A and B are shown apart, each in its own frame.
Chain A
Amino acid sequence: MEKKTVEIRGFMQLREYFRRKNWPVPLILDLEEAISGYELAEKLEIPAEEVEVIFVNGFVQALDYRIQPGDRIAFLPPGCPGPYRIALGFYGKNQDNQANFLIHKKKENEQG
């Protein structure tokens, strides 16, 4: 039986992280069962605050999205410029994750 895998990329500073780990781009990882973005990040030791959103098969998703075997994944740190942040749907997906607290740090501090 063919092995079940996911194809994983990391952008911006996470690319450096891939390089340091000597991972190929893309990294092909065995994955038998569905897993959340958080769990996958943990498995790869990518800190959650380094991820604003993930791409799953070309669509922007939140970190709690369930990743299936066979998916194409990319981890995106906070730092995507342009109105594409809105147009690609970042603002609907980044609200509850830790990276967004980086983006809104100042506001949080002011309120806190």
Chain B
Amino acid sequence: MRDFSEPPIYDDLIETDRVHRTLYTDEAIFREEMNRIYGGTWTYLAHESELPKANDFVRRTLGLRPIIVSRDRDGKVHGLLNRCPHRGATVCRDDAGSTRRFTCPYHNWSFTNSGDLVGVPIEEGYGPNFDKSRLGLGKIRVEVYRGFIFGTLNHELPDLETHLGTAARRLDEWMDRWPGGKISVRNGQHRLMCNGNWKLVSDNSHDGYHPGYSHASLLRMRKDRYGGGVDMQWVLGNVDDGLQRLYDLGNGNTFLDQRPEIERYWYQSAPMPGEDSYAATLRERLGERAEPALDVVMGSGMNLNIFPNLLIIGNQLQVIQPRTVDSTDLIWYSTSIEADDLPPEVNALRMRLQEDFPSFGEPDDLANFEECQAGLSIPEMEWVVTSRHMDTGTEYVDGNGDLAGLPTDELGIRAFWKEWLIRMNATTKLEAK
């Protein structure tokens, strides 16, 4: 067994075909991750539609750091560390709202919504050399890609779109299912708590191997009640003989594409309340034009994973929010599509559909993650296998130049650890400025 009385050398924990269990269980590693991974690379913070107007804000975290994502009076988006420069109290204590000033409740220092210190009670007490311009809220480097707000404390990273690379193109495909439509993230969310390390969640999101087994309950319920052909039946049997593919998009981003298995979205969708009533309404009103509208009810058939915390699954944004080394919050933000030519019934159906997987799919995964966490506590069993399809000769480079493989390939997990190691070993100073 390895001796970890010394600080761990991360390279020793990640081998080409396996990774060490302590990556999931060690508290010191977790604390470093929260600083180096979250904030050391472009990290998803919020969606622009959550703060639609000037002066709107939402409260979030970057790793474990409390932060604010705000719009200033001109509508520009800012990422601010939620920490008064004076004595450390958080200055924003609401989950969301609209304000021109954040005022610290402790001594009433007040800040603009772009982070500048503008008010200090009885200021003369700090003497003549007091410089308010040096005491603003810590500022996160923020960029927006088509509504998705990312932030980092790494000032050496390239711009967001360059960093996303082909992941940005896949994000385009996800957003452009209804041409001209805008994605809105203002329709509530599921918040699921899991007593497991956050990386168990991301491992699973590029794992095309587990669905036929971990989701046996969902698949069996559907088949027993509705017969074949409904949602996700393509994950049964040897999925490597099927049409799904998995891609390494670079910088830790990955993509499990289920779309080639979908012939007609509406007919292969999971069941949802209102399905028959609204389909009848739309077909009566729109005739054949109802069909493409019904198709965008169904999930996208995409698992697009943006390192380290954004997993776009179906129609939802699943955000990973680590709490401790062995507990994680998963927030499944539901989405709707805003478009003048999209019938509103589609979004009512999308709400019901987006309750399906958090009810009948995700809970079984979370139960399995928690049992992984329990098993990984055993010191004598040191390693986790990540070698699937590494040397079966099935990987290839696709037309975009991305490494691709069969759906059960563990290339997504290997891509994740490659990026993880780069970020953990990076010597770049992370700064709020």
A binds B: no
Chain B residues near A (Cβ < 8 Å): none
Chain A residues near B (Cβ < 8 Å): none
